[in-house]
């Protein structure tokens, strides 16, 4: 081969190589902590998108390397990364519309129902407009079971014994706990273990996977089996400009994989996480505390109605169709 022809072949190969690289799309995804049940839908989504596009569209998942969890929505708004997960209760003022999903005692009793209720709310125009202020498009929820509380010291055998107890509890759960005299404290999940160990708080409200992932069970003495004051809502969002910039094939791969990713998440949580929870409590000698049904009924009656009324009043003043959003939740739960 002549030098001239060889040079031509090399140039052609380089053009093809760099052209292929230019065509590839990479998104950065901001999560926190470590891979766990709470992030399995994002991991599955990345796997599906990569497969459907033959590696031409990839999601690069980072656990804490891109942003603090309470700053993920801010990062999305400025395009610091293209996808992120956050929890509504971390900054209720930034996403007031979806905090309706964090009201206590909504009656959501399964992950499957949590998915349906969240998606119904996410689809509401007022909610989409609320998140659009941050250049964010809601992609999918991170369904969580009802929270319960792990703590150190003597466990509260009655609801009255929660008086004065410092407990990490955000959003509606925190408001519910305050009605029985507990002292709710809001902090990110990654701060909880150290706060319990140092005595800043005596207890923490989490779903089972988080109690295991963030180590609150390591020194815990007790666990409430049936308090069930509510849960948190933690959506996965994407930067709207980045979403709009995708090709049709890429967008279809992303949006068309959400249902399968959520199905994987629910199966993973139900089959793997919950099967470990009971044995973990037994292994660590953690006492299970179960409350009287009558006391719990009184707790719900005292909390649910006033919390919903206050949420509706506050968010109507913000200009949201708050009653409509709450009624949507109630209707979807009933269905």
pLDDT band at 20 (very low <50, low <70, confident <90, very high): very low
Distance CA 12, CA 10 (A): 5
pLDDT computed for residue 172 by the predictor = 85
**Burial of 119 (C-beta count, 10 Å sphere; 0-12/13-18/19+):** middle
| Three-point CA angle 114, 116, 120, nearest 5° | 115
Spell out the domains of the chain, with CATH numbers in brackets: 23-142+232-273 (3.40.190.170), 148-231+277-334 (3.40.190.170)
Q: How far is CA 227 from CA 18, 148, 310, 322, in A?
A: 58, 6, 22, 27
CB 59 within 8 A of CB 46: yes
Distance CA 138, CA 10 (A): 45
pLDDT at 83 over 70: yes
Condensed to tens digits (0 to 9), the pLDDT of residues 178-224 reads: 999 999 998 888 899 999 999 999 999 998 988 999 999 999 999 99
* pLDDT single digits (tens) 271-288: 888 889 999 999 999 999
Contact 289, 222 (CB under 8 A): yes
């Amino acid at each position: 081969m002549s030098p001239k022809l060889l040079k031509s072949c090399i140039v052609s190969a380089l053009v093809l190589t760099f052209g292929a690289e230019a065509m590839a799309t990479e998104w950065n995804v901001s999560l926190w902590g470590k891979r766990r049940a709470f992030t399995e839908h994002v991991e599955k989504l990345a796997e599906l998108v990569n497969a459907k596009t033959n590696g031409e569209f990839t999601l690069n998942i980072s656990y804490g390397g891109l942003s603090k969890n309470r700053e993920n929505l801010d990062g999305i708004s400025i395009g610091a990364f293209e996808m992120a997960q956050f929890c509504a209760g971390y900054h209720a003022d930034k996403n007031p519309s979806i905090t309706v999903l964090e009201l206590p005692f909504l009656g959501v009793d399964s992950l499957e129902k949590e998915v349906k209720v969240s998606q119904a709310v996410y689809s509401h125009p007022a909610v989409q407009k609320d998140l659009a202020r941050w250049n964010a498009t809601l992609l999918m929820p991170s369904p969580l079971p009802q929270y319960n509380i792990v703590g150190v010291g003597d466990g509260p055998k009655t609801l009255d014994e929660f008086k004065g107890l410092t407990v990490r509890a955000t959003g509606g759960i925190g408001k519910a706990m305050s009605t029985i005299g507990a002292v709710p404290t809001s902090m990110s999940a990654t701060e909880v273990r150290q706060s319990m160990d140092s005595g800043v708080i005596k207890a923490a409200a989490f779903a089972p996977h988080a109690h295991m992932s963030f180590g609150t069970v390591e020194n815990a003495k007790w666990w409430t089996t049936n308090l069930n004051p509510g849960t948190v809502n933690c959506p996965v969002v994407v930067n709207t400009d980045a979403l709009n910039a995708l090709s049709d094939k890429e967008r279809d791969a992303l949006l068309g994989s959400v249902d399968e990713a959520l199905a994987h998440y629910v199966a993973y949580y139900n089959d793997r996480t919950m099967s470990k929870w009971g044995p973990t409590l037994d292994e660590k000698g953690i006492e299970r505390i179960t409350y009287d049904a009558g006391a719990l009924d009184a707790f719900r009656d005292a909390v649910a109605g006033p919390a919903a009324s206050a949420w509706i009043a506050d968010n109507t003043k913000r200009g949201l169709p708050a009653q409509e959003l709450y009624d949507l939740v109630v209707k979807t739960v009933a269905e």
